[in-house]
A and B are shown apart, each in its own frame.
Chain A
Amino acid sequence: MPIGESSRQNSIAIRTENLCRHYSMGETVIRAVDGISVQVASGEFVALLGTSGSGKSSLLNLIAGLDRPTAGSVIVQNNDLAKLSREELAKYRLHTVGMVFQSFNLIPSMSLLENVELPLRFAEVDRNKRDGLARQALNRVGLSARSRHRPTELSGGEQQRASLARALINQPQFLLADEPTGNLDSQTGTEIMNFIREFNQGLGMTIIMVTHERALAERYANRMIFLADGKLVGDQSNIVPAGARGVTS
């Protein structure tokens, strides 16, 4: 299947050019992202690796359109995110990217169904269509029985599955995951990673995943980008071992 993968890796989906994100803390300037130029092809499964503080989450936030670069540009489908208005950036986050976080980030006051439905509300999808789409998405991650439950009533793995369903609801091209298994034990972590790989291989989504576990990256990603002190220090393609599939279930 790496062969099938390579056929999809032709077009460039995301390109950063000398991307910088500096924070000033009083007198000192923290260079979270410091001149990164990288290209991600459509359909790739990229792992961003590095120690904490290496700038991998900051880079992900810039690609997700949650943050704006201090300098440089993020070009997604020939649009420079730095030049989009706040409103356009929100539309980009809504339709083009889906996000998954280490701490799940479900809204505790809402049921799973409502959480998953939320992006549809922002996308102004018809009320009567929303419910069906949300149920369908929950069904895909095996949570249809839990749709009326609140996030706190579920295990970590279930919460992360719900947030995956939410990330997929608007059918984005990119899934950006920030340490998606960081709060999970290895068993449920594997479960989540299998879902993500399925989105990559089955739905053809481009995945960028931040992680500090090299083993995880080696097992699932087909490219590993290494960051240190906000700089790109390594970029290697990775032949995903066929055996990884066998680990599933």
Chain B
Amino acid sequence: MAELAVRNLRESILRNSLTTVGISVGVASLVAMLSLGIGLQQLAGRRLQKSGLFDTVVVTSRRDLRGFNREQEENGPSPAESPSLTEDARQKIAQLPNVLEAYPDIRFITEVRYEDKPHLTMMAGLPFSAKNNDAFDGMQGTFFSSETATEVILQKSFAAQLLGKTPKAGGEEASVTELAKPLLGKQLTMRYAERTATPEPESKKEAPADSELANSTGAAYSVVSREAALKIVGVCDLDPDSMRGQARARVFLPLKLAQSLHVMQPSDLRDTTNMTNGTPAYTTVEVHVKSPTQVQPVEDAIKKMGFNTFSIVDATRSLRQFFAVLDLFLGIFGSLALAVASIGIINTLVMAILERRREIGIMKAIGASDSDVKGLFFAEAGVMGVFGGFVGVALGWAIGRVINLGTNVYLKRQHFPPEQIWFVPWWLVLGAIGFAIVVSLLSGLYPASRAARLDPVQALRYE
């Protein structure tokens, strides 16, 4: 029957081609809309995933009294009885299932000198794994050469500050390339406060043995002012530390180096009263989880250890919801075009019945049953659907590609890196073709049953 249908379609090739083009355009708009929706969703997802927002749990000690939500503080042990975020605790967290790494957050405000001019800034240790963070996509220069290299990466705005180029209000920002050129390879001198262990004072030994103080003797330390020379290896465009808000750093150094410098941390002072041994406690530990879906169980496990946690998974849920709604709307608009196309099919086939009245009459006279005739028209609708579906998917793919290309040209002009905002998954290809066929067959239902009901005597009478 399909064979017969194809040859019938070939007979009035223009009309049937136009109808098929109608279906194609419908399918194409559906594919283009949905592929853009999916592409945007993936883009956002990729960005968030790369930025580490999705798979990161931020751990703080309850002792900080600055938990991220009140519920945690009310339900957990009292801050005074909860543990400090010590190196031991960090190692325990790192050994939890599905945890990739747990590293301390080391940041401090300090003074750096560049060409003998002092600048005050926030510095932060950056784990080596941050290399893949997409904040470094547009970076000039290189990432740290090793985990303990005495090197720094500057954020663009700080680079501008070092060069004395403050952006004019409303004026265009200087590009990273421009800023990086004079700075790469130069030296920064950093001044910082080093925490060094001091020998136990004699007086402590005589302190009452029952008090906690007896155990916290190791907390004593002295602070020494130091200087370190650091080489500028990179200037990055985006902000790798954007999650930090006010506390975000402008200068980054390798985390291992930062740890080895023993820079005074704000929490050190407070923990002086609680130290159980000589190891320092961290203000914050960042935990990277294998995949965003593992965030919740890891978070729960860490909470059980008596720490406060924070992750952005809740925020992503509404983001995903937003994209689901966006896809739905794009899909509806795409389907509208297909609905118009289906009216085209109905029209074409009804016209074909009028035109082929006699042919239908002949077929019935020589023994075609109602279902034969119905099947023939149905097959014609189906064949148009198949062709329309395939051509439409190709067309939609092309449209998506062109939009993607255009967007990238625009992005390039705005000095943004190119992005893939369009993505055609396999299920969309197959789904769109299937949808086109289903819509075509549904459109063929009425014409086909009308053709089948035709009275052969009537059809053959008029000549």
Contact = CB atoms under 8 A, between A and B. Distances in A.
Answer yes or no: do A and B interact. yes
B459 to A, nearest CB: 10
B432 to A, nearest CB: 32
Interface string A114-154: 00001101110000000000000000000000000000000
Interface of B: 4, 7-8, 11, 358-359, 361-372, 456-457, 460, 463
Contact of B367 (A67, A94, A110): A94
Interface of A: 61, 64, 66-67, 86-87, 90-91, 93-95, 98-99, 101, 103, 105-107, 109-110, 118-119, 121-123, 166-167, 170
B331 to A, nearest CB: 39
B377 to A, nearest CB: 15
A66 B456 contact: yes
Contacts of A86: 369-370
B369 A91 contact: yes
Contacts of B460: 66, 101, 105
A170 B366 CA distance: 10
Contacts of B371: 87
Contacts of A101: 365, 460
A99 B366 contact: yes
A90 B8 CA distance: 22
Contacts of A109: 7-8, 11, 359
Give the 6 A-B residue pairs with the shortest CB-CB distance, closest first: A94-B367, A90-B369, A93-B367, A109-B11, A105-B362, A67-B457
Interface centre among B8, B369, B372, B460 (most CB of A within 10 A): B369
15 contacts: A64-B365, A91-B369, A93-B364, A94-B366, A94-B367, A99-B365, A103-B463, A105-B460, A106-B362, A107-B362, A109-B7, A109-B359, A122-B366, A122-B372, A166-B366
Contacts of A118: 363, 366
B365 A93 contact: yes
B370 A66 contact: no
Contacts of A110: 7
Contact of A119 (B8, B367, B456, B457): B367
Contact of B369 (A87, A106, A107): A87
Given A61-B457, A105-B365, A90 B370 contact: yes
A86 B453 CA distance: 10
Contacts of B358: 105
B362 A91 contact: no
B367 A90 contact: yes
A101 B361 CA distance: 12
A106 B7 CA distance: 16
